[in-house]
């Protein structure tokens, strides 16, 4: 019987040669003044084009969205041109690629914003170390966003989606996970607002639906995905609480109305066993609620990924680190070939080393 990992997958947007997705991973190779993806970026993604779908590293939607150095943006003409090199390379290999649209919110530093505080829902310091040009520096209390700031950010996401399509991407993923801006709005402990973007579950989720509605006005919403991390706890200043399950139930149920390309869910990556406020098995829980395509992510091996597909809890499985060290990961899984081991020391360092120099099987 054929392993489901290697089966074709299609819906009204996706037409994928297999069910292995390359997860979005920051690689910090855009160490150029224009903060753009380069020919080296294109080579990296070309090498991994046998994934059923590639989701790029997070790409910043505006200067206000920046939270890390050496990460590509998608808000200037030069950046759009830079990404065209990547989409062309992947398409030449027969691959599919989505851009992940990113705003870090409070996870940033004034040094990345000409001395200004980064914008976030409320003035809650995430207490993180931020990677700046001077090295790692502690985060500060951010500047609470005005309603005008929020409206501008919604428009920035819309424009970034348009820019992604102009750059040749097959679609775009909204980064609503891992404690960044959208999840900062979702979470009670990082969103202390009392206006229409704070307080109730519906209000805290509002920005996501404002973004989707704005994109829907100008582009095919069936080419948009959303990434969510419902059981994130104790990381990036986000905690699960007595309304977390209700919040994500509301979000995912309402996403049924949008006919999206997919939702991309993350299983808990800290121990939440025994925590009554946390969803223990994310894919299994939301499969009962969501009628569309589900991608699931959780440090999968070939065996555990196969099982989640066989159990019917997800349609696609995303792999992160294994794709860093194994550009031909689907072929290695298919042939039971050994895997290259990743060099963590080069995950975020400029240049080819630890980026495009991992050998493929036929090298």
Give the Cα separation of 187 and 184 in Å (integer): 5
- Out of 203-207, 231-235, 261-265, 325-329, which region has the weakest mean confidence (pLDDT)? 231-235
Q: Are 83 and 72 within 8 A, CB to CB?
A: yes
pLDDT category of residue 362 using cuts at 50, 70 and 90? confident
- Does the pLDDT value for residue 363 go beyond 90? no
What integer pLDDT is reported at residue 182 of this predicted model? 98
Q: Mean pLDDT, to the nearest integer, of 104-130?
A: 97
- Does the pLDDT value for residue 1 go beyond 90? no
* Cα-to-chain-centroid distance, residue 186: 16
Give the Cα separation of 258 and 253 in Å (integer): 10
Three-class HEC string of 281-311: CHHHHHHCCCCCCEEEECCCCHHHHHHHHHC
Neighbours of 190 (CB within 10 A): 25
What integer pLDDT is reported at residue 327 of this predicted model? 98
Give the Cα separation of 343 and 346 in Å (integer): 6
Q: Mean pLDDT, to the nearest integer, of 209-226?
A: 98
Q: Which domains does the chain have, with CATH numbers?
A: 4-346 (3.20.20.70)
Give the Cα separation of 306 and 112 in Å (integer): 42
Report angle CA 272, 276, 277 to the nearest 5 degrees: 80
pLDDT category of residue 158 using cuts at 50, 70 and 90? very high
For the CA atoms of 340, 47, 321, 236, the dihedral, rounded to the nearest 10 degrees, stands at 160
> Which residues have a Cβ under 8 Å from the Cβ of 81 and sit 6 or more positions away?
36, 167
What integer pLDDT is reported at residue 140 of this predicted model? 95
Q: Which helix (H) or strand (E) holds 316?
A: strand 316-319
What does the mean pLDDT of the chain come to? 97
Active site residue: 44, 75, 180, 248, which one?
Answer: 180
**For 27, phi and psi rounded to 5 degrees?**
-125, -5
Of 235, 236, 299, 304, residue with least CA distance to 272: 235
* Cα-to-chain-centroid distance, residue 80: 19
- Provide the whole-model pTM: 0.98
Give the Cα separation of 83 and 78 in Å (integer): 9
C-alpha distance across the termini of the chain, in Å: 30
Mark whether 358 is an active-site residue.
no
What integer pLDDT is reported at residue 35 of this predicted model? 97
- Does the pLDDT value for residue 111 go beyond 80? yes
The sign of the CA dihedral 135, 136, 140, 144 is: positive
What integer pLDDT is reported at residue 257 of this predicted model? 97
Q: What share of the chain is helix, strand, coil (3-state, %, to 5)?
A: 35, 15, 50
What integer pLDDT is reported at residue 178 of this predicted model? 97
Looking at residue 73, the DSSP 8-state letter turns out to be B
User: What are the pLDDT digits (tens) for 220-265?
Assistant: 999 999 999 999 999 998 999 999 999 999 999 999 999 999 999 9
Give the Cα separation of 23 and 227 in Å (integer): 10
Give the Cα separation of 120 and 197 in Å (integer): 12
User: What are the pLDDT digits (tens) for 269-313?
Assistant: 889 998 999 999 999 999 999 999 999 999 999 999 999 999 999
- Does the pLDDT value for residue 2 go beyond 90? no
């Amino acid at each position: 019987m054929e392993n489901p990992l290697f089966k074709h997958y299609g819906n009204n947007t996706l037409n994928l040669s297999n069910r292995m997705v390359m997860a979005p991973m920051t690689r910090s190779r855009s160490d150029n003044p224009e903060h753009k993806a380069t020919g080296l970026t294109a080579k990296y993604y070309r090498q991994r084009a046998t994934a059923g779908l590639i989701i790029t590293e997070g790409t910043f939607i505006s200067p206000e969205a920046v939270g890390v150095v050496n990460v590509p943006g998608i808000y200037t003409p030069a950046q759009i041109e830079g990404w065209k090199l990547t989409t062309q390379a992947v398409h030449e290999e027969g691959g599919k690629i989505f851009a992940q649209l990113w705003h870090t919110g409070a996870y940033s530093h004034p040094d990345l914003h000409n001395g200004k505080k980064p914008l976030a829902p409320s003035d809650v310091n995430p207490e993180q170390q931020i990677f700046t040009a001077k090295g790692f520096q502690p985060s500060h209390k951010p500047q609470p966003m005005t309603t005008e700031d929020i409206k501008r950010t919604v428009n920035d996401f819309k424009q970034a989606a348009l820019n992604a399509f102009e750059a040749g991407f097959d679609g775009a993923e909204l980064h609503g996970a891992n404690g960044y801006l959208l999840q900062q709005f979702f979470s009670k402990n990082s969103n202390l607002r009392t206006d229409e973007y704070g307080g109730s579950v519906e209000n805290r989720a509002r920005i996501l639906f404002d973004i989707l509605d704005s994109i829907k006005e100008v582009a095919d919403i069936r080419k948009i995905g959303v990434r969510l991390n419902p059981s994130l706890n104790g990381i990036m200043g986000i905690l699960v609480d007595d309304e977390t399950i209700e919040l994500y139930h509301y979000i995912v149920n309402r996403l049924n109305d949008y006919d999206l390309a997919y939702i991309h869910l993350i299983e808990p990556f800290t121990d939440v066993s025994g925590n009554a406020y946390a969803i223990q098995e994310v894919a299994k829980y939301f499969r009962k609620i969501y009628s569309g395509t589900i991608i699931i992510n959780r440090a999968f091996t070939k065996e555990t990924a196969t099982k989640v597909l066989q159990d019917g809890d997800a349609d696609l499985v995303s792999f992160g680190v294994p794709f860093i060290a194994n550009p031909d990961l689907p072929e290695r899984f298919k042939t039971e070939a050994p895997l290259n081991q990743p060099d963590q020391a080069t995950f975020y360092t400029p240049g080819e080393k630890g980026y495009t120099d991992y050998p493929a099987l036929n090298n």
